[in-house]
Amino acid sequence: MDKAQQDALKKAAGIEAAKLVENGMVVGLGTGSTVRFLVDELGRRVQEEGLQFTGVTTSRRTQEQAEGYGIKIVDVDDVDHIDVTIDGADEVDKNFDGIKGGGAALLWEKIVATNSNRIVWIVDETKVVDTIGAFPLPVEVIPFGAGHVISRFKDRGYNPVLRLDADGQPVRTDEKNYVVDLHLNRIDHPRELAEDLINTVGVVEHGLFLNMVDMVIVGDPNGPRVMT
């Protein structure tokens, strides 16, 4: 599938998910190219239909895009609940175990998701897999001592690669941390891996989102379909 076809599926999933947003809701807004289509559609509804809702964003990028449409954005600590969070994903299996963080926003994404009443993912059909792990697993790491964390990951056979930007500098998250991508090929025991990663000193969060999501809207050439 070429990028234009994939983008069309992402856009269809984003537009479908925007229908879940109603007046007065508090909505978590994820990060990534699929979420950009969602926010475009929500922005259109705000401007053309007078939709009013409050957003909590999972990255500065999404915040800027949403505020550009006049969507009210507040800090996650300024709301007592989030009705629904709509986010993208890098991979998801039929048990709703998934990988996130391709866009380096995994920490805020997990914080917002954890505080949401309902979580919806929007993906194109290429993201639905039998076994997760072909997509490199992002891990957010504190810069201080990151070299030692990477060595530990190497010793455990996790094939870590520090994520670099176009200038060859380490990518920094919105919290100014590094991202280390683990090239695992497949993850047969995601819960054990999650436990190991989160117990490694220097790791802030990992991109395993295990059975957290309530619904996945899949952009499919035959039209968006829902996995529940």
Q: Write the DSSP assignment of the chain as a string of letters.
A: --HHHHHHHHHHHHHHHHTT--TT-EEEE--SHHHHHHHHHHHHHHHHH----EEEESSHHHHHHHHHTT-EE--GGG-S-BSEEEE--SEE-TT-EEE--TTS-HHHHHHHHHTBS-EEEEEEGGGB-SSS-SSPEEEEE-STTHHHHHHHHHHTT--EEE-B-TTSSBP--TTS-EEEEE--S--S-HHHHHHHHHTSTTEEEESEEES--SEEEEE-TT--EEE-
Q: How far is the CB of 155 from ligand 5RP (least distance, A)?
A: 27
Q: How far is the CB of 151 from ligand 5RP (least distance, A)?
A: 25
Locate 68 and state its tokens: 């550009």
223 annotated among ligand-binding-site residues:
no
103 annotated among ligand-binding-site residues:
yes
Which of residues 32 and 224 has its CB atom nearest to ligand 5RP in the complex? 32
Which of residues 43 and 136 has its CB atom nearest to ligand 5RP in the complex? 136
Which of residues 83 and 91 has its CB atom nearest to ligand 5RP in the complex? 91
Provide the binding-site residues for ligand 5RP, judged by CB under 6 A: 30-34, 87-90, 100-106, 109
**195 given a catalytic annotation:** no
94 annotated among ligand-binding-site residues:
no
104 annotated among ligand-binding-site residues:
no
Q: How far is the CB of 170 from ligand 5RP (least distance, A)?
A: 16
Q: Which of 16, 109, 140, 205 is catalytic?
A: 109
Q: How far is the CB of 89 from ligand 5RP (least distance, A)?
A: 6
Annotated binding site for substrate: 31-34, 87-90, 100-103, 127
Q: Which residues are catalytic?
A: 109
Annotated binding site: 31-34, 87-90, 100-103, 127
